[in-house]
Structure 1
Amino acid sequence: MKQRIITALILIPLAIGWLFYLPVEYFSLLATLLFFLAGREWGRFASPELATLFAVTYTVILIASYYFAPLQFILNGQLQPLIWGILLTAIVWWVGALAMIMRYPGHEAWWQKRKWIQWLFGLCTLLPFFWSLLVLRGYPFHHDPGAGSWVLLFVMSLVWVADTGAYFTGRAFGSRKLLPAVSPNKTIEGLLGGVGAATLLAVIVTINVHSSVKQSVAIIISSMLAVLASVLGDLTESLFKRVAGIKDSGSLLPGHGGVLDRIDSLTAALPVFVVSYLLIS
């Protein structure tokens, strides 16, 4: 616990600086480093020997996507077809991940020993996450170039509030296991408590930003979908760790495990929020 607190005290101001004080171009460079580290940890799920190869190939594809979809388009409020395609790929992937989780154990053999499939799963997880980070940070929401930092913080806060609400609700009232084969500690009561807490946050924020009715509806619906997706992201990483026989994705963050252990919920929540909000609003 002491290590967790110390690491959090170091990471929180760094994260705030990353969100609010770096130009988008430098923000994207640090996001690329985060992408590489997460890709290396994903590679450990398939094989420790392949971890660096996974990260390098992912990063090459990421850089190629930079070339074909320049960041300036996002800053101008435009999402190119390539970015839409990447984000929509995430929706398809997370629906597939849900099916994998629901059928575990007993149906994982088809991908467990096929490294290229696990490589593809990682790409479908991390590439949309990266671009959703850039869209949320750089998109001029409500024609305000600086709004992206607050929107990204809001979506991250939804996940954090949901996690906290689920933890305390689960401890106080949890009795029915959600998916014990994948994550024994999660309960249905905890899930409902987390969704309720995050929805309350979304309502409070919506009231205070004075959005139109359509925008308010978009925020609430997108928030609820993102929170449900965050649970799916967490469960998916737990599934891959369980199949790989490892406890943490890495050891980079003392007391917290690896990068993936910290962003697993966000890998699903961010692209789901971006797609649903932009389509509804």
Structure 2
Amino acid sequence: MAFKVRDMGLRAASALVLAPAALFAVWLGDPWIVGVLLIACVVLSMEWARMSAPKDWKAIAAAVALALVATLLSNPTDALSFSLVVLVFGAAAAGVFARARKQSGVDAAYGVLYLGWPALLLIWLRDGNTAVGFYWVTLAFVVAWASDIVAFLVGSAVGGPKLWPRYSPNKTWSGFIGGLIAGTIAGGAMAALPETGIASLEWSALLGFCAALATMAGDLWESALKRRFGVKDAGNLIPGHGGLMDRVDGLMFAIVIVAIGRTLWHYFGGGA
């Protein structure tokens, strides 16, 4: 129990530093959020390369990072379709480069897509400096954080049957259910914010539920990737979490779901 208390303390301290910084960048909008994402993608590229190509990680990290930087600078706010084309070509180029260096081309290409897709959608969701864009990005952050924190706390306190012991032996069904409930409540609460462009409490709560489910799916998916590559953490950048990827794995999936939710709300709910 002492270990868990210490672990919770490290997580809390890290969150108190990272969460306000992330929300401040989101509030500032372009170009600040793009700048933060560029730095994050470089760090994530290094973590991905260290996991997937440890014998030649510097070269692979450079290839993945170059593809991501080119993608983020291709103006996804106004030209998302073009940015997606850049992302795909960047992934292909990174894969070819990795193969030429006798590394896994599939892993390099997948790393570009895995890291780049959520980053693109985050910029697109922010929608420049609009109040509605701020709401959508904040929704993704709040739901992901709420579900992740409550899942950890409930799982640690209640325990019980394991969720997926083969890949993530510490996660429990109790934590999973607690995370879903927390994400749903957080999503519904976000509908109370003014000038959000979404007035339906039910829709916002449903989106919170789906984003919370995606958050935990992203966490499990990264656990499976780490098990495949034979590593415990993606890195050691953040105390109590490991690497940056260990901190944002669930958020990456939540952003995709929120982007889909915004698109559906725009076409069927009459919102922005």
Q: What is the alpha-carbon distance in structure 2 between the residues aligned to residue 28 and residue 212 of structure 1?
A: 23
Deviations 1:177-203 (A, max 9, x none): 211001112122321221111111212
TM-score with structure 2 setting the length: 0.77
Match for 2:111 among 122, 138, 143? 122
* Contact 1:86–1:128 (CA under 8 A) maintained in structure 2: no
2 CA distance for matches of 1:66 and 1:212? 26
Q: Distance in 2 between matches of 1:150 and 1:214?
A: 12
CA offsets 1:55-105 (integer angstroms, 9 cap, x no match): 3222322343356x425xx2xxx5542356799x9xxxxxxxxxxxxxxxx
Structure 2 gap segments, 5+ residues each: 1-5, 89-101, 267-272
* Equivalent residue number for residue 243 of structure 2: 258
Provide the C-alpha distance between the structure 1 equivalents of 2:200 and 2:84, rounded to a whole number of angstroms: 20
Deviations 1:115-147 (A, max 9, x none): 22222221221011111221222357xxxx133
Residue identity over aligned pairs, in percent, reads 27
Question: Which amino acid is the alignment partner of residue 221 of structure 1?
Answer: L
Identify if the C-alpha distance between structure 1 residues 236 and 50 changes in structure 2 by more than 3 Å, giving closer, same or farther.
farther
Structure 1: state its 5+ residue gaps. 90-112
> Over residues 249-268 of structure 1, what are the superposed CA-to-partner deviations in whole Å (9 max), with x where a residue is unaligned?
11222333111111111121
Does the CA contact (< 8 Å) of 2:41 and 2:69 recur in 1? no
Taking the aligned partners of 1:30 and 1:262, their CA distance within structure 2 comes to: 15
- What are the within-5 Å matches in structure 2 for residues 77-96 of structure 1? 78=78, 80-83=80-83
Alignment partner of 1:24: what SS?
Answer: coil
- The yes-or-no answer on 1:34 pairing with 2:40 is yes
- Report the alpha carbon displacement of residue 150 of structure 1 after superposing the two structures with TM: 3.5
**Preserved contact between residue 218 and residue 277 of structure 1 (Cα < 8 Å):** no
Q: CA deviation at 1:168?
A: 3.2
- Pick from 38, 41, 64 the counterpart of residue 70 of structure 2: 64
Give the structure 1 partner of residue 269 of structure 2: none
1:50 Cα deviation (Å)? 3.0
Task: Give distance in 1, aligned partners of 2:197 and 2:139.
Answer: 18
Task: State how far apart, in whole Å, the 1-side matches of 2:16 and 2:178 are.
Answer: 26
CA–CA distance in 2 between the matches of 1:85 and 1:206? Answer: 33
Q: Check the 8 A contact 1:248/1:257 in 2, yes or no.
A: yes
Equivalent residue for 1:268, pick from 245, 249, 253:
253
Matches within 5 A, 1:190-269: 190-209=175-194, 216-269=201-254
Residue identity matched to 2:107:
Q
Shift of 1:44: 1.6
CA root-mean-square deviation: 3.0
Partners of 2:265 and 2:172 lie apart in 1 by 31
Letter in 2 for 1:130: A
Residue type of the partner of 1:126? Answer: L
- Confirm whether residue 181 of structure 1 aligns to residue 166 of structure 2: yes
Cα-to-partner distance string for 1:12-41 (whole Å, 9 max, x where unaligned): 4432332223x4123202211101110110
Paired residue secondary structure (1:228): helix
- 1:80 and 1:34, CA in 2 relative to 1: closer, same or farther beyond 3 A? closer
The one-letter amino acid paired with 2:209 is M
- Could you say if the C-alpha distance between residues 190 and 255 of structure 1 is closer, same or farther in structure 2, counting changes exceeding 3 Å? closer
Using structure 1 for the length normalisation, give the TM-score.
Answer: 0.75
Could you say which residue in structure 2 is the equivalent of 1:11?
18
Kindly tell me: are residues 18 and 169 of structure 1, through their superposed partners in 2, closer, same or farther at Cα, counting changes over 3 Å? same
Partners of 1:138 and 1:148 within 8 A in 2: yes
The residue that corresponds to 2:94 in the other structure is: none
CA distance in 2, matches of 1:5, 1:150: 24
Q: Partners of 2:189 and 2:30 in 1: how far apart? A: 28
| Contact 2:184 2:208 survives alignment (8 Å) | yes
* Residue 38 of structure 2 corresponds to residue 49 of structure 1: no
